[in-house]
A and B are shown apart, each in its own frame.
Chain A
């Protein structure tokens, strides 16, 4: 079987000492920031990006991936112990998790979360290995028209499934695409919107933009929410789940994994929607469903499996099609571009070691988290109690040094300040900035594909709808947009948000 040969190749890459080390660093950092209030995976990865440029591409991606799924683990730890979901994906975990902790079963609750996540991670590694190659191969046949339509679909789907106003999300995408055109035009070599600044000739650096919006603006709005509060941490003892726990957990884990894997591949859905859907389904499907919310183990196992499955599966569109399903994936695509790897279906054939190494590392990383998390619980508990007022100046300093180090110029710092201000304004106006980042990352490629499409067709845009695959992709985008206008769908979406 090919899949075993491929996974074997991946494992041989993932377990080299250097990659094991970066995987461990990623998982540790990820858990830490998942636990720390007010610092999420997007800001952390943006901050660390410049440092990863010195690494081999595969090590860099393995570490970033570790940060991403590690944050899910860390987020659930705080949800269970102090009722503070570190990430959106663990909001529902807090419902039963914190209740269990209050009833003196914090250890079993944490174990249930870790085991379910590990189970889901293992299943999804196999699923990715099974499904990524055929998707890549299919996409490998795509011409420029199909690519253009695929990107349209990716952007539209990200909007439909994200939260917040659809109107503003669409506007944000257009704005992101527009900002992507700053700099030297590849085809003609003319400079656009550079205003004579040589620093702008290469365009706006997406790390600088991300750091302004997810680093600086985030700090400002966190400070706005007021001061630190004293936290009461539930004591942790008795980590081993009982026999009864196991028999109640396993069906919930399976249900959660299935729902997470299905929803995770959709752009924009990722972990948050998966965990909400899994919890809602658990209420109906489990024989203890009526007890959900009172502190039962099913209420942890199912959403935790779902959010980890969703997080893993969101790598599928990124690895096979070069489409970001969430801001972290957008940053990983950006990192690949910096490393001269063209994101998209060619990654699998051109860089098999990187592709399979990354996939195998996710399983290794999940195993590490299971081993790391429970024994180190004492460290995480202490970390929860770090007050934000000590934390945020450090975050800001790391952001600034990171931005400077990209091209060793203070010019980028001013750009970061500008986007920090802009990000804060957007937040005030209720405009979600993530779609802007998606548009920004895909802008240059989209322009290129549109150009090539129309060059081949001599300026006739109808090829986009006469080529069957392209037409299907655009049709799907239209359906997505139409769906969102339906009142029934709107209502569900608002409830999930």
Chain B
């Protein structure tokens, strides 16, 4: 019975295998051409095949060499930081930069174990949003709406004209 002594190599090998296989699968239709006149599929498919080779070797290594166990995944930062970025991407255009950055900053900050929602952090977040809005949106003119269409009705109720 084979025993996996390096789970790092096992997983890395499987990742190489998967990417290599996907490369061949999705690139199947790209023309190979000949070595003298390479088609668009030649270079990527050779690399994909090499990756499969590395994958196989990696899986083989996983039973022959020893390596330290994989440290446990810390789900809180992983999920919250990635989620924060996704929320920013989702909210930026419909809700606008101000809301998107506020949600982003808060979700992201919650990833820290020492996160607590106090006045100082909120003031810091407000300062960050203001500085970014002034520098990037107003100053550098990056086309991000400060207030998106979702909030237009609310803004139009304000007693001053924008």
B71 beta carbon closer than 8 Å to chain A: yes
B114 beta carbon closer than 8 Å to chain A: yes
B148 beta carbon closer than 8 Å to chain A: no
Q: How far is the CA of A387 from the CA of B109 in the complex (A)?
A: 12
- Determine how close the nearest CB of chain B comes to the CB of A409; give it in whole angstroms: 10
Q: Does B35 lie within 8 Å of A461, measured CB to CB?
A: yes
Interface segment out of the listed A233-241, A273-281, A352-360, A412-420: A412-420
Q: Which residues of B contact A487 (CB under 8 A)?
A: none
| Chain B, 36-60, CB within 8 A of any chain A CB | 36-41, 43-44, 47-48, 50-51, 54, 57-58
**With A181-B44, A410-B93, A420-B82 in contact, do A392 and B108 touch (Cβ < 8 Å)?**
yes
Q: Does B112 lie within 8 Å of A447, measured CB to CB?
A: no
Q: Does B51 lie within 8 Å of A223, measured CB to CB?
A: no
Q: Does A454 lie within 8 Å of B128, measured CB to CB?
A: no
Q: Does A396 lie within 8 Å of B77, measured CB to CB?
A: no
**With A185-B40, A401-B142 in contact, do A175 and B85 touch (Cβ < 8 Å)?**
no
Q: Does A454 lie within 8 Å of B35, measured CB to CB?
A: yes
- Determine how close the nearest CB of chain B comes to the CB of A100; give it in whole angstroms: 32
| Chain B, 115-139, CB within 8 A of any chain A CB | 115, 121, 124-125, 128, 132, 136
B146 beta carbon closer than 8 Å to chain A: no
Q: Does A413 lie within 8 Å of B36, measured CB to CB?
A: no
Q: How far is the CA of A430 from the CA of B30 in the complex (A)?
A: 33
B34 beta carbon closer than 8 Å to chain A: yes
Interface segment out of the listed A108-116, A163-171, A260-268: A163-171
Q: Does A389 lie within 8 Å of B82, measured CB to CB?
A: no
A283 beta carbon closer than 8 Å to chain B: no
**Can you give 29 A-B contacts (C-beta < 8 A)?**
A168-B58, A171-B51, A174-B47, A174-B51, A187-B38, A188-B40, A192-B30, A192-B40, A193-B23, A216-B85, A219-B111, A220-B74, A220-B82, A223-B74, A227-B112, A393-B108, A393-B109, A393-B125, A397-B104, A400-B89, A400-B104, A408-B143, A417-B85, A425-B15, A429-B8, A429-B70, A430-B12, A457-B36, A458-B36
- Determine how close the nearest CB of chain B comes to the CB of A425; give it in whole angstroms: 7
Q: How far is the CA of A178 from the CA of B47 in the complex (A)?
A: 6
- Determine how close the nearest CB of chain A comes to the CB of B64; give it in whole angstroms: 12
A63 beta carbon closer than 8 Å to chain B: no
Q: Does B38 lie within 8 Å of A404, measured CB to CB?
A: no
| Chain A, 415-437, CB within 8 A of any chain B CB | 416-417, 420-421, 424-426, 428-431
Q: Does B40 lie within 8 Å of A187, measured CB to CB?
A: yes
**With A185-B40, A220-B77, A450-B43 in contact, do A397 and B11 touch (Cβ < 8 Å)?**
no
Q: Does B142 lie within 8 Å of A405, measured CB to CB?
A: yes
Q: Does B114 lie within 8 Å of A389, measured CB to CB?
A: yes
- Determine how close the nearest CB of chain B comes to the CB of A279; give it in whole angstroms: 27
**With A171-B51, A192-B40 in contact, do A400 and B30 touch (Cβ < 8 Å)?**
no
A378 beta carbon closer than 8 Å to chain B: no
Main secondary structure of the interface of A (DSSP, over half): helix
Q: How far is the CA of A413 from the CA of B144 in the complex (A)?
A: 14
Q: How far is the CA of A227 from the CA of B26 in the complex (A)?
A: 44
Q: How far is the CA of A175 from the CA of B50 in the complex (A)?
A: 9
Q: Does B27 lie within 8 Å of A224, measured CB to CB?
A: no
B156 beta carbon closer than 8 Å to chain A: no
Q: Does B113 lie within 8 Å of A226, measured CB to CB?
A: yes
User: Which B-chain residue is minimally distant from A395 (CB atoms)?
Assistant: B108
A486 beta carbon closer than 8 Å to chain B: no
Q: How far is the CA of A188 from the CA of B108 in the complex (A)?
A: 43
Q: Which residues of B contact A51 (CB under 8 A)?
A: 140
Q: How far is the CA of A329 from the CA of B101 in the complex (A)?
A: 31
Q: Which residues of A contact B104 (CB under 8 A)?
A: 393, 396-397, 400
Q: Does A396 lie within 8 Å of B142, measured CB to CB?
A: no
A197 beta carbon closer than 8 Å to chain B: no
Q: Which residues of A contact B16 (CB under 8 A)?
A: 171, 175
Q: How far is the CA of A426 from the CA of B16 in the complex (A)?
A: 11
User: Which B-chain residue is minimally distant from A412 (CB atoms)?
Assistant: B89
Q: Which residues of A contact B38 (CB under 8 A)?
A: 187, 450-451, 454
Q: Which residues of B contact A187 (CB under 8 A)?
A: 38, 40
Q: Does B40 lie within 8 Å of A190, measured CB to CB?
A: yes
**6 closest residue pairs by CB, A with B:** A459-B36, A223-B77, A413-B89, A459-B35, A185-B40, A171-B54
Q: Does B128 lie within 8 Å of A394, measured CB to CB?
A: yes
B98 beta carbon closer than 8 Å to chain A: no
**With A181-B43, A389-B114, A405-B142 in contact, do A400 and B35 touch (Cβ < 8 Å)?**
no
A177 beta carbon closer than 8 Å to chain B: yes
Q: Known A-B contacts: A181-B47, A187-B38, A223-B81. Give 16 more (CB < 8 A).
A: A54-B140, A177-B47, A181-B43, A188-B31, A192-B27, A192-B44, A193-B26, A219-B111, A387-B114, A392-B111, A398-B132, A400-B104, A413-B85, A417-B89, A425-B11, A450-B38
B155 beta carbon closer than 8 Å to chain A: no
Q: Does B101 lie within 8 Å of A397, measured CB to CB?
A: yes
Which one of B23, B31, B82, B90 lies within 8 Å of A216 (CB-CB)? B82
**With A175-B51, A181-B47, A219-B77 in contact, do A410 and B92 touch (Cβ < 8 Å)?**
yes
B73 beta carbon closer than 8 Å to chain A: yes
Q: How far is the CA of A396 from the CA of B104 in the complex (A)?
A: 9
- Determine how close the nearest CB of chain A comes to the CB of B125; give it in whole angstroms: 8
Interface centre among A170, A413, A426 (most CB of B within 10 A): A413
Q: Which residues of B contact A193 (CB under 8 A)?
A: 23, 26-27, 44
- Determine how close the nearest CB of chain A comes to the CB of B93; give it in whole angstroms: 7
Which one of A404, A431, A451, A454 lies within 8 Å of B12 (CB-CB)? A431
Q: How far is the CA of A177 from the CA of B42 in the complex (A)?
A: 13
User: Which A-chain residue is minimally distant from B35 (CB atoms)?
Assistant: A459
Q: Which residues of B contact A167 (CB under 8 A)?
A: 54, 57-58, 61
